[in-house]
Amino acid sequence: MTQASTTITNAQVVTSAGLVDGSLRFVDGSVETLDAVAPKDGDLVVDAGGKIVAPGLVDLGVFAIDKPALHFGGITRAALMPDQSPPLDHPARVRFATQSGKPDFWVHPLAAATTGLEGQQLAEIALMQDAGAKAIATGRQWIGDSGVMMRLLQYAAMLDLVVITHAEDAGLGGNAAATAGEMATRLGLPSAPKEAETLALARDIALAEASGARLHARQVTTRAGLELVRQAKARGVAVTAGITPAHFMLSDLAIADFRTFARLSPPLREEDDRQAVIEAIGDGTIDVISSGHDPRGPEDKRLPFADAASGMSGAETLLPLTLTLVRDGVIDMSRAFELLAGNPARLLGVNAGELAEGKEADIAIIDPEAPWIVNSGDMEAQAGNTPFDRQPVQGRVTALFMGGIRIDL
């Protein structure tokens, strides 16, 4: 049952113009007004204590709906990757996934681009859209057949759905566990050149440009790849790019001790690429920061590095690690929540992601200075496979609302 009306007072409200001291009122699950609004008779009044009031995060691409971890991270909506068992390549599965988060979480399934995510035959995308799919995704894989990818993009353009792609050429990537370079050579790990990303991106961008489709590269992690996106945007191509905190916080030095929590896909890059990612966040080339939340248990991670599964548990650290960019002066607070909420909401076509009149009252109260230490053994996630274990961070959600209903944290 929706709380009839709530006013959050004594807040620093995140707006497109910056942080504004004031209040925020929402009624029947939608934002009614912000600024210095006074509570009305009968309102539930929540004192933010001078903390930040921001839109709930919209996580573009998680591999598991891990509600305790997502709530801890201030995430109220997540786009669920199609890499499920079985894959989200059928309308009934999409419909079930759409309902799976209720009543305290919004799940937005991503339709599998191809049957079984095998990259060969287009799935029933229009029927999955009718069942609740908010975008199309190629999953953990890249579609190697350019004819299939072109047909997918043309179809997506007709349906006005964004295609979310994994930009990594499998012909070059193979079973690589690391980026080709000094670190991979020193450790004797199977590796792939960074061109696996740039070749995949160049082809996908060319096909998106030809088809007029919207393309979102879920992770762009190399300097050359980011330059391709930058140039495409300048030409007017409808391409957007995402990243996870691992690739702006860590380089391939993090794999020096064969620690499998740092085995990711795409693999961690060299320091120059990490710096390029930070630059791209600052100049607007990157549009989305997402968690890539992919909890993996001991059976997947307690293996030799080359045999371990890739992926990290990222929901709980998404917010505090992004706030490091604010503290370092790379971006301001408004831009941080554009990356974490506003832009992903627009790509998914949902009425959320910002605090404005008529938007869904998905709201987080955040103490940006609250210190805590990441502990892989004490996480809310199904598995604590984080490369940031034992790292001190700042920033924690103190209250969370979904559609105007307060969620227990």
pLDDT digits (tens, 9 = 90+) for 44-98: 999 999 999 999 999 999 999 999 999 999 999 999 999 999 999 999 999 999 9
The radius of gyration of the chain's CA atoms, rounded to the nearest angstrom, is 21
Mean pLDDT value across residues 101-128: 96
Residue 201: Cβ within 10 Å count: 28
Which of 161-170, 286-295, 372-381 has the lowest average pLDDT?
372-381
What is the identity of the amino acid at 42?
A: G
Q: For residue 40, what pLDDT is reported?
A: 87
> What is the pLDDT confidence band of residue 34, given thresholds at 50, 70 and 90?
confident
Protein fold of 56-89+129-353+370-392: TIM Barrel (3.20.20)
Residue 39: Cβ within 10 Å count: 16
Closest CA to 152 of 213, 200, 93, 202: 213
Q: For residue 1, what pLDDT is reported?
A: 44
Residue given tokens 């506003």 in the structure block: 342
> What is the pLDDT confidence band of residue 3, given thresholds at 50, 70 and 90?
low
Token pair listed for 119: 């990259």
Q: For residue 17, what pLDDT is reported?
A: 86
Dihedral-angle region of residue 208 (phi above 0 means left; psi in -120 to 50 means alpha; beta otherwise): alpha
pLDDT digits (tens, 9 = 90+) for 201-227: 999 999 999 999 999 999 999 999 999
pLDDT digits (tens, 9 = 90+) for 357-395: 999 999 999 999 999 999 998 898 888 899 999 999 999
* Global pTM value: 0.96
Mean pLDDT value across residues 325-342: 98
